[in-house]
């Protein structure tokens, strides 16, 4: 954007951003991104943007908006550009050390909350916590939970701790490897995980904003062992869950039948697969009889 844009109005800026983003983003996604840009740069809600459409934009905002667009045209996710993401009604810090929380994972939290909202003092283990989104959402939704959140990445844990502190939640964060958890007996009421589950062969069908920017460590598994994290967690959970305990997974729809058989062989006789709002088989809930 040039000096000639110094008198650009809010409406003109929105129209200009929409036009510049059109080569990469469809109209609906571009409008959603523009809403985030206005909130980030001007603290405007969509209502503010509509009401102030004819007001001039401060000149110092224009080059900032231009830089954001340049990064967006390189497929960088808007959440990494602003450093913020929304999850279950909360604003979380994110950077390239952690996955951007997805709406599907909000659905996983909802499943747990519906089943446990009336149970006081549940013990919770969140494996592969990343930004801490699941652990924090459960800490704020359940009744006096005792939550431990684990990740192998110290950089991810730093982000999670910052988010927990900002949202005034008490969570015990620990660095550990999900594949090599120390055995425990009857310790957890809830074990939840959104582990890496995308097969390497699926990379070619994925968007550049995921492949180029989000941490591969948190996304991909080998084609010859796509359930590697589920197997390790199920083996641990078979002894670590309390008698009332339940195991919750976000899953890859491609491997539902293999996952169900593996869980049953691990001692979970009650396995329920739940579809997400898009109709994809996305969650597994497992209990021992």
Q: What is the mean pLDDT of residues 149-170?
A: 98
Residue 120: alpha-carbon gap to chain centroid: 26
As a whole number of angstroms, the distance between CA 63 and CA 188 comes to 51
- Going by C-beta distance under 8 Å and a sequence separation of 6 or more, which residues neighbour residue 268? 234, 238, 247, 286, 287, 288
> Angle, to 10 degrees, between the axis of helix 154-166 and the axis of helix 133-141?
30
Residue 40 burial (CB count, 10 A)? 17
* Closest CA relative to residue 89, chosen from 137, 39, 33, 32: 137
* Closest CA relative to residue 141, chosen from 158, 165, 124, 160: 124
Q: Which domains does the chain have, with CATH numbers?
A: 3-74 (no CATH), 89-287 (3.40.50.150)
**pLDDT, tens digit, 9 for 90 and up, residues 77-121:** 999 999 999 999 999 999 999 999 999 999 999 999 999 999 999
Place of tokens 């494996």: 127
Residue 4, pLDDT > 50, answer no
What is the phi/psi pair of residue 186, to 5°? 55, 45
Its pTM stands at 0.94
**pLDDT, tens digit, 9 for 90 and up, residues 196-235:** 999 999 999 999 999 999 999 999 999 999 999 999 999 9
Mean pLDDT for the chain overall: 96
The DSSP 8-state label assigned to residue 101 in this structure reads P
Residue 6, pLDDT > 70, answer no
């Amino acid at each position: 954007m040039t000096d000639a844009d110094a008198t650009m109005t809010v409406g003109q800026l929105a129209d200009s951003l929409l036009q510049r983003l059109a080569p990469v983003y469809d109209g609906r996604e571009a409008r959603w991104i523009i809403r985030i840009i206005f909130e980030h740069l001007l603290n405007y809600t969509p209502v503010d943007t509509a009401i102030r459409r004819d007001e001039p934009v401060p000149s110092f905002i224009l080059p900032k908006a231009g830089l954001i667009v340049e990064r967006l045209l390189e497929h960088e996710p808007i959440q990494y550009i602003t450093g913020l993401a929304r999850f279950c009604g909360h604003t979380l810090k994110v950077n390239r050390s952690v996955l951007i929380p997805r709406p599907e994972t909000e659905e996983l939290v909802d499943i747990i909350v519906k089943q446990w909202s009336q149970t006081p003092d549940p013990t919770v283990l969140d494996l592969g916590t990343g930004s801490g989104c699941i652990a924090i959402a459960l800490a704020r939704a359940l009744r006096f939970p005792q939550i431990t959140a684990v990740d192998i990445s110290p950089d991810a844990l730093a982000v999670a701790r910052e988010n927990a502190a900002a949202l005034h939640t008490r969570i015990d964060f620990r660095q550990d490897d999900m594949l090599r958890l120390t055995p425990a007996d009857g310790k957890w009421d809830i074990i939840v995980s959104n582990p890496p589950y995308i097969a390497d062969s699926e990379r070619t069908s994925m968007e550049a904003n995921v492949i180029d920017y989000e941490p591969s460590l948190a996304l991909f598994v080998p084609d010859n062992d796509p359930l590697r994290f589920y197997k390790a967690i199920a083996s641990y959970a078979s002894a670590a869950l309390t008698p009332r305990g339940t195991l919750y997974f976000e899953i890859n729809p491609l491997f539902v039948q293999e996952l169900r058989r593996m869980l049953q062989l691990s001692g979970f006789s009650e396995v329920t697969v739940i579809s997400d709002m898009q109709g994809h088989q996305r969650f597994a809930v497992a209990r021992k009889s």
